[in-house]
Amino acid sequence: MKRYCEYTARIFHGIRLDNCHSTPIHVAEYMLDAARKVRPDLYVIAELFTNSDITDNVFVNRLGINSLIREAMSAPNSHEEGRLVYRYGGEPVGAFLLPPVRPMVPCIAHAIFLDLTHDNRSPAEVRTAWDMLPSTALVSMACCASGSTRGYDELVPHHIHVVDETRVYQAWTDAEPTRGECNESSGIVRCKRLLNKLHFELGANGYNQVFVDQVTEHVVTVTRHNPVTHQSVVLVAYTSFRPPAEARESHIRPLKVQGHLEEIIFEMQVKGKTSGEDDKSYPGFFNNDSEFINGLNSIIAEVKENIRPSESSLVRLTSPEDADETECQYTSEFAPGSVIAFRLSLLPRAQTASRISEVTTHNVELMDIVNSLSLSDLNRVLYRCDEEEKDEGHGGGTYAIPNYGSLPYCGLQGVISVLSEIRVHNDLGHPLCCNLRDGDWMPEYIVTRLKHEPATQRLAKWFEDIFNWLKEVPRYLIPAYFDSIVTSVYLTLINRAWSLMGEFISQGSDFAKALSLCSVQFCGIVKSAVMPPLSPNLSSPQPPSFTDGSGSTKQMSVTIAAGLPHFSVGYMRNWGRDTFIALPGNLLITGRYDEARWIILAFASTMRHGLIPNLLDGGSKARFNCRDSVWWWLQSIQRYVAIVPDGNRIFRDKVSRLFPSDDSPPQEPGRHDQLLEDVIQETLQRHFQGVKFRERNAGYQIDREMCDEGFNNEIGVSFVYGGTVHNCGTWMDKMGSSELAGIKGKPATPRDGSAVEIVGLCKSALRFLGQMYREDKFKYNSVERYDDTGNVTKWTYEFWEKKIQENFEKYYWIDENPIPDREPKPELINRRGIYKDSYDASQFWADYQLRCNFPVAVAVAPEMFTPKHAWIALKNAEKILLGPLGIKTLDPSDWAYNGDYDNSNDSADPKIARGYNYHQGPEWVWPVGWLLRAQLAIAPKVGGFEELGRTMGHVKSLLAPHLTHVLSDAWRSLPELTNTNGTVGDGSYRTGSEALQHDRHVKRSGLRHHPCTRHTTPRTYINTCRNTLTFVPHTPSQ
């Protein structure tokens, strides 16, 4: 058998594997390997009847099959035959212009499409002889290999059995044939020669786009299009699966094709030698020759080549020669068994317009325009959710596509997100493509919205000019060229964004670049959500300004949206906690130092009760109902000083205090200036002294869910403590809102006492400020407390930090083994080898719950932890809490756990009603970054550089799903949260800049997205990437 295969390979350039599926695949591999040693370029076709594309591909890949045999005779009608022509090769006409390097997508194995195989009965037996010409013409228009079996061209009306047949084929002659001979006039031989010639020409000259149109039950049109020259060949075949008398149509709609008709390549038709026999499968009678395999001689084929429309007997041209569209009507001579092929090209003006994609490549004018845009300008050009756009006051909003819905963004990213999904699959039937073909609404939308702002008007004009050219392109090509234009400009714009963000981003990893664009998503100028004005005495640079409708001048700095789309405008945009969890990743890692400075100083101006606001609302209406935002603010200042050149100068920046005292009304900018270091000292001093207050305007008007006691606040230090069971002052701030379930006004997670992450943030701030004092960059080093008798207690930052250090492990660590003298309530311990979530909480069980908060403390203050304990706890957190994309907010073994969040739940179940379990199990994304940063911080302490190397690789593997998500999600971001095991649920936000609390508050994160979540920004994630890449050689793919 091996020698047989080798001999065959020496003689033939290609072989057919018959019934390949019935041969053991390892045997076939062995034989083909032997054959390929003789002829390395052996062409292998195979017959497979697996009825599975997946199984077919197994054979194709293991055996190196070049083409699979596909049979036109398997089609029961012309509709199925046309479908096979489309299925077995080519792109759709008007396909997107794909780059040479692009994502791989599933495809079927390459086909060799045969009009007849040796296994098939003759079409004259199962269809009609009249159909043999139109069906082989359809096969020749397929964009794949094609083939036939001897006897088809001579119109042999019976099956030629490969075993039982003893006669010989007819010999070829150039003269008039006699018995046992055939020539070009025999059967449809001449027609087949023209069809094969056309098939070769189309393949060799790049006509690789295919469109099949089922005109009637029996008439099929196939278009082959060259996407470079935009020439097309259109073949119309009038099939005759039934006798012509039954297949004849009373009306066939005219052929309408965009483009100029250059020529009729050919028209051909089979007819009976005698009339009146079109009700039979073939005319006349067939005499089977006893010595030769002969065909029908009762059919003749009429052929015309390279003719003008006026010379055609099958069609009549009804459109002007210079029209954009060619229209032909079929004459009465166009009957079953007829085939006609047209060659068309675009008119000169359309050919010029079809080169518009070249204009967007290395375009000097475009580059000049793009290089004038700032990151806040790019926010408008690329992003802007529906609410942000409407907030501009120009009547806009996201673009709505009929039969699809609204795009996620008003800017180019909105349409790019859709195009990127349909482009790789050439889904030209997508509603977006239909919308682009039907009218110019989308291009006009892009231009109109960019005209509203002076900074983007030049780009609007450039788009307007290029889209005017686009109108000259045939409508079926509009989606492809629109995509080419928009995608090219989009890539130019995001490269501009990266170039403005410094080397870490512009030369960074794909993940860092993808996350950095979230900075552009969330950081924008929104006139309904301004920051409190900075001091007029602030050293430059100062924020830009604008003149409002009343003629007043206002400072206008970018702000960080807490979440998109719902937390993006007005009083709901700016939240202290979210802003400062998000700020380092959004503004510092991306090199946006001035904007980070302005935001830090603006929030400093609102200091009251020693706190930073939770809800900013312009500053004058701020709510001071969270305990942790001030510590995130101090963490951002620490990161600012560490990252920004001469960053410590911010301590001497002037802050215009909006509330110089707790009870003062809002003050004018510059009236009460303080240095930032004085404001920082005030917050530490106030915490050390203790803070006790009731929120202003307490009641329904500021919070319709909270009970009256919840408006009372008390904060102090040993460890930083505060809160009550009636309020929720950390990021886990879900307030019950269901009266039916009896939870209205009851926080789901009060986390009063000393929340672990706040203790870590406090320790980090004290360490940092103590170091700044020792370096003579910060003038304070201690705080004082007065008791009721006037006695003074003074702690230096160093002493305060030391007190935390000495006591933290004692009060927070739950050892793997019982330690009775450290476990006053062992019956509450549900999980060992963890750190408590809080200390001294009013709900006695809450301290012992395993949550995702302690990694924050590990990451910002790793020195506070015993490395061995921290490593055990972090690994337990990963094992128990980490999901595919997010991290569980509560131990699944906890009695309160429920991992599926649904804010619309209106049941009486107190665990889940109105989303009460928001932080009781759902897998939030932003804390994942802190878990990974904590692991990187502790790894070298427990295992040196060897363990650090392993951890870096592990961290990268854990981040891989996030990279996939941020590159593929329509919002180009990460979700706020997911439900159990990464499933998508209802009620959270599409993306969150940092953090979010569903009903009214916010969260934190490094980025997000989710149905009904807000977008989140690159805070923790970019920092994690940075930590990882610090220790490994950088390559673009990392």
pLDDT digits (tens, 9 = 90+) for 619-644: 999 999 999 999 999 999 999 999 99
Rg of the chain over Cα atoms, rounded to whole angstroms, equals 37
CB 1029 within 8 A of CB 508: yes
Domain stop point among 294, 325, 345: 345
Identify whether residues 227 and 203 lie together within a single domain.
yes
Residues 338 and 385 in one domain: no
Distance of CA 360 to the CA centre of its chain: 23
pLDDT over 60 (residue 578): yes
In order, the DSSP letters of 781-825 are -EEEEE-TT--EEEEEHHHHHHHHHHHHHHHHEE-SS--GGG-S-
Same-domain check for residues 260 and 338: yes
Strands (E), 134-194: 145-147, 168-169, 171-172, 181-182
> Does 517 map to a domain?
no
Q: Is the pLDDT of residue 327 over 60?
A: yes
Assess whether 332 and 361 both reside in one domain. no
Average pLDDT of the segment spanning 61-87: 95
Q: State pLDDT tens for residues 596-618.
A: 999 999 999 999 999 999 999 99
Domain annotation covers residue 952: no
DSSP 398-417: PPEETTTEE-S-SSHHHHHH
Residue 930 has pLDDT above 60, yes or no: yes
The predicted pLDDT at position 997 comes to 26
How do residues 108-126 score in pLDDT, each as one tens digit?
Answer: 889 999 999 999 999 999 9
* Residues assigned a catalytic role: 18, 21, 119
Q: Is 351 exposed, middle or buried (0-12, 13-18, 19+ CB in 10 A)?
A: middle
Instruction: Based on the fold, state whether residues 274 and 334 are members of the same structural domain.
Output: yes
Rounded to an integer, the average pLDDT of 82-99 is: 89
- 654: in domain: no
Q: Does residue 1033 have a pLDDT over 60?
A: no
Mean pLDDT throughout 482-490?
94
Strand ranges in 508-569 using DSSP code E only, listed in sequence order = 523-524, 545-547, 553-555, 559-560, 563-564
Residue 247's nearest CA partner among 222, 280, 286, 213 is 280
Is residue 888 classed as helix, strand or coil in its secondary structure? strand
| 410 φ/ψ angles, rounded to the nearest 5 degrees | -80, -30
Q: How many CB atoms lie within 10 A of CB 72?
A: 24
Q: How confident is the model at residue 1013 (pLDDT cuts 50, 70, 90)?
A: very low
Question: Which of 345, 374, 408 finishes a domain?
Answer: 345
Residues 417 and 306 in one domain: no
Q: Quick check: 6 pLDDT over 90? A: yes
- Judge whether 858 and 868 are in contact, CB under 8 Å: no
- For residue 715, pLDDT over 80 is answered with yes
Q: How far apart are CA 837 and CA 825, in angstroms?
A: 15
Q: Which of 141-145, 452-456, 552-556 has the lowest mean pLDDT?
A: 552-556
Name the average pLDDT for the chain. 91
Q: Is the pLDDT of residue 164 over 80?
A: yes
CB hemisphere CA count around 369 (13 angstroms)? 21
Domain count for the chain, please give it: 2
Total Cβ atoms within 10 A of residue 104: 6
Cβ(1004)–Cβ(948) under 8 Å?
A: no
Paired tokens of 888: 């569980």
pLDDT of 984 higher than 80: yes
Hey, which bits of 637-772 come out as E strands? 654-656, 673-675, 691-694, 712-717, 720-722, 754-755
The answer to the question of residue 247 being in a domain is yes
Q: Which of 233, 145, 152 is nearest to 191 (CA)?
A: 152
Three-state secondary-structure class, residue 322: coil
**Helix, strand, or coil (residue 441):** helix
- DSSP secondary structure letter of residue 475: G
Of the candidates 758, 724, 754, the one whose C-alpha atom is nearest the C-alpha of residue 840 is 754
Strand pairing category for 405-406 and 260-272: unpaired
Nearest-CA neighbor of 586 among 1036, 1023, 930? 1023
Rounded to whole angstroms, the Cα distance separating 370 from 496 reads 7
**H helix intervals, 656-795:** 676-689, 756-774
Position 987 pLDDT exceeds 70: no
pLDDT at 548: 72
333 and 469 belong to one structural domain:
no
* pLDDT, mean of residues 955-970: 94
Q: What are phi and psi of 179, to 5 degrees?
A: -60, 135
Strands 923-924 and 887-888, by their bridges, are antiparallel
Q: Which residues contact residue 759 at a Cβ distance below 8 angstroms, ignoring those fewer than 6 apart?
A: 719, 720, 804, 808, 812, 839, 857
Judge whether residue 509 has pLDDT over 50: yes
Nearest to 916 by CA among 711, 755, 741, 752: 741
Task: Let me know: does 125 contact 109? Beta carbons within 8 Å.
Answer: no
Comparing 511 with 870, the larger pLDDT belongs to 870
Please tell me whether the peptide bond between 474 and the residue prior to it is cis, using omega within 30 degrees of 0. no
Measured distance CA(937)–CA(1027) in Å, rounded: 9
Task: Copy the structure tokens of residue 312.
Answer: 């055609």
Q: Which amino acid is at 547?
A: T
Name the domain boundary from 294, 323, 345.
345
Residue 171 lies in a domain: yes
**Helices 1020-1030 and 510-522 meet at what angle, rounded to 10?**
150
From 604, 623, 606, 613, select the one nearest 680 (Cα to Cα).
Answer: 604
**Nearest Cα residue to 927 out of 847, 992, 990, 999:** 992
* Contact status, residue 159 vs residue 121, Cβ threshold 8 Å: yes
pLDDT single digits (tens) 331-383: 999 999 999 999 999 877 777 665 666 666 678 999 999 999 999 999 999 99
How high is the pLDDT of residue 51?
A: 80
Q: Are residues 325 and 373 in the same domain?
A: no
Coil, strand or helix: which one is 303? Answer: strand
Amino acid type, 212? V
Tokens standing for residue 716: 């102090």
- Residue 569 pLDDT exceeds 90: yes
Cα 423 to Cα 428: distance, rounded to the nearest angstrom: 8
pLDDT of residue 1003: 28
Q: What does the alpha-carbon distance between residue 277 and residue 453 come to, in Å, rounded to a whole number?
A: 75
Q: Is the residue at 762 inside a domain?
A: no
Interacting residues of 1029 by C-beta distance below 8 A, sequence separation 6+? 508, 509, 512, 1038
pLDDT in tens, 426-450: 899 999 999 999 999 999 999 999 9
Q: Is the pLDDT of residue 317 over 60?
A: yes
Distance between CA atoms of residues 267 and 301, nearest Å = 10
Q: Are strands 887-888 and 720-722 parallel, antiparallel or unpaired?
A: unpaired
Q: Answer yes or no: do 311 and 426 share one domain.
A: no
Tokens representing 796? 């230096």
Check: CB of residue 731 under 8 Å from CB of residue 578: no
Q: How far is Cα 264 from Cα 257, in angstroms, rounded to an integer?
A: 14
pLDDT at 1016: 39
Please compute the mean of the pLDDT values over residues 493-514 and round it to a whole number. 93
Cα–Cα distance between 250 and 234 in angstroms, integer?
Answer: 23
The verdict on 96 and 120 lying in the same domain is yes
| Percent of the chain predicted with pLDDT > 70 | 94
Note whether 220 and 245 are same-domain residues: yes
Whose tokens are 């034989």? That residue is: 31
What is the rounded CA–CA span in Å between residue 537 and residue 671?
10
Kindly state the percentage of the chain with pLDDT values over 90: 82
- How confident is residue 989, by pLDDT bands cut at 50, 70 and 90? low
Residue 315 belongs to what H/E stretch? strand 315-317
Rounded Cα distance, 958 and 882, in Å: 10
- Which of left, alpha, beta for 148 (phi over 0: left; psi -120 to 50: alpha)? beta
Residue 970 placed within a domain:
no
Q: Name residue 185's amino acid.
A: S
The C-alpha atoms of residue 551 and residue 547 are separated, in whole angstroms, by 6
Give the pLDDT score at 1019: 36
Q: Which residue blocks in 205-318 are alpha helix, DSSP H? A: 244-247
Range list of β-strands (E), 598-668:
654-656
pTM of the full structure: 0.86
CA–CA dist 253, 427 (Å, integer) = 26
* Structural domain range at position 368: 354-500
Mark whether 116 and 199 lie in a shared domain: yes
In-domain check, residue 577: no
> How far, in Å, CA of 943 to CA of 950, rounded?
10
